[in-house]
Chains A and B, each alone.
Chain A
Amino acid sequence: METWILTIFIAGFAFAYVLSPLLKARGTGRRGGSPTPSPDPFGVILQEEVELELAAGKLDQEEAQQLEQLQVPETAETDEIELEIRARRRNLKRR
């Protein structure tokens, strides 16, 4: 019994902290913008690796070109658009 009282007490404090972004968001209707992505350091390293392998004869040009094409994101954009549409639809419904 005491355990439950104490649990409610501790969890209460924690939830006040955890739920506050939701309560605030309802008030202002704010939707956080996505920050600009920083360049991926690993991409730079991979490119260096490829250059090295080309120089050492471990890779031919054909492979190197194929590799470059692979690094372009595939589904990210379409998905982003889809999510955006979904979010707007929901907002409309709410109004």
Chain B
Amino acid sequence: MRSARRTWLGAILLVAGAVAIFLSGMRHSYQYFQTVSEFAQTPGAYVDRGVRINGMVDSSSVEWQPDSLLLRFRLTDGQSWIPVEYHGVAPDLFQAGQNVVVEGKVGHDGVFRATQILVKCPSKYEPVGESPKSSL
């Protein structure tokens, strides 16, 4: 019986270890998911913290420098706006007026440096045009 108890003890330790790793991983990985207005109220709170922001690409704000691969645009939700910089290539569906999610960090200068731009398409299966319902 002693060996059985030992194996159970081992199993519990194993699970506890896994949970510990799991929780410590969580602490460093989660990101706030915000709308533009929520973010713009207290941008200071998010400096150097991973954030995801959902908003619309402000029309006539998109500026693309092909040589340095720098993409600049303003993200808006109609009330507030945030300047965004992205070093890399925009996804296919990226265009002015499109609903997008940017992932990255905000600097002390207030410019949001995106590491990823996700175009919000409600589902691979639904037609792209009909996506007014996905506003968080």
Touching chains A and B, CB distance < 8 Å:
no
User: Using a CB–CB distance below 8 Å, which chain B residues touch chain A?
Assistant: none
